Amino acid sequence: MLDGELSKFFDIEQGVPQGEIPALLGQLRNLQVLMLFSNKLTGNIPSELGDLRQLQVLLLSDNHLTGPIPLELGHLSALKELVLSGNQLSGHIPPQLGNLGALQDLYLSRNKLDGPIPPELGELAALTSLYLSNNQLTGPIPPALGKLAALQSLYLQGNQLSGPIPKELGALTELNVLWLYSNQLTGNIPPELGDLRRLQWLQLSENHLTVGGRKQN
């Protein structure tokens, strides 16, 4: 049996481990960093990882993980970095992720996630990077994302998002990168985006946007 006092750092990166993530890792109650990225791991993310209440970094990217994101990950109140990109995860983004008040980086890109972007993500006051690109997300961009005052990078491209660009995004005064291209967004480009004084990259191509009634390609 794994001893909860064994380690604060568990790292298997860019190696050859394969098979499923053992649920017993949930017994390492003092664990602060769990890195299993760039392996050949399969199966679901164990819900038991939600018991790692000291965890600050969880990197599971670039494996072959399937199934939903466990809602139990919303219990990880100390988590600062959650990286699940480059897998085959499916289902909706759990609204419970909005409980991660310490979270700074959320990477869910390059999966098969569908459904809407939960407005609860707008409660992540410490978030600086939000990557939801290249999934199958639908519905509107939640205006609640405009509450992410610390956000510097917002990547939503390569989905099936529809509706207008929320004017509330103009409140993201720390934003450097805004990529919304390759969606199904409609309506005018909100003039409030002109308030993004720190913005360096703006990508709105491949949508159905208009400016003064004229479509922008």
CA-to-CA dists, residue 197 to 51, 149, 177, 193, angstroms = 41, 14, 11, 9
Look up the CATH number of the domain holding residue 174: 3.80.10.10
For residue 18, what pLDDT is reported? 72
Residue 5: per-residue pLDDT: 43
Same domain, 47 and 80: yes
CA distance 31 to 88: 26
> Other CB atoms closer than 10 Å to residue 181's CB: what's the count?
17
| Residues 155, 94 share a domain | no
pLDDT at 214: 54
Pair (181, 101) in one structural domain:
no
Q: pLDDT per residue over 170-193, tens digit each?
A: 999 999 999 999 999 999 999 999
Residues 103 and 178 occupy one common structural domain: no
Q: How many CA atoms lie within 13 A of 95 on its CB side?
A: 6
Scanning 21-166, the segments in alpha helix (DSSP H) are none
Q: Are residues 86 and 42 in the same domain?
A: yes
Long-range CB pairs of 45-48 (<8 Å, 24+ gap) are 45/21, 45/69, 45/70, 45/73, 45/84, 45/89, 46/20, 46/21, 46/22, 46/70, 47/23, 47/71, 47/72, 48/23, 48/24, 48/72
CA atoms within 13 A on the CB side of 141: 27
Q: Output the CA–CA distances (angstroms, integers) from residue 195 to 168, 170, 192, 199, 212, in the order listed.
A: 11, 6, 6, 9, 19
Residue that finishes a domain, picked among 64, 85, 107: 107
User: Quick one: 122 and 212 in the same domain?
Assistant: yes
- At residue 11, φ and ψ (nearest 5 deg) are -135, 115
Residue 211, pLDDT score: 75
Within this chain, do residues 135 and 103 fall inside the same structural domain, yes or no?
no
Contact 128, 152 (CB under 8 A): yes
- Structural domain range at position 78: 1-107
Residue 1: what pLDDT? Answer: 40
Taking the C-alpha atoms of residue 155 and residue 160, their distance in angstroms, rounded to an integer, is: 13
The string over 100-133, giving b where at least 16 C-beta atoms fall within 10 Å of a residue's C-beta and e elsewhere, is: beebbbbbbbbbebbeebbbbbbbbeebbbbbbb
What's the number of domains the chain is made of? Answer: 2
Along the 217 residues of the chain, how does pLDDT read in single tens digits?
Answer: 444 444 454 445 544 457 999 999 999 999 999 999 999 999 999 999 999 999 999 999 999 999 999 999 999 999 999 999 999 999 999 999 999 999 999 999 999 999 999 999 999 999 999 999 999 999 999 999 999 999 999 999 999 999 999 999 999 999 999 999 999 999 999 999 999 999 999 999 999 999 765 555 5
What is the model's pLDDT at position 6?
Answer: 42
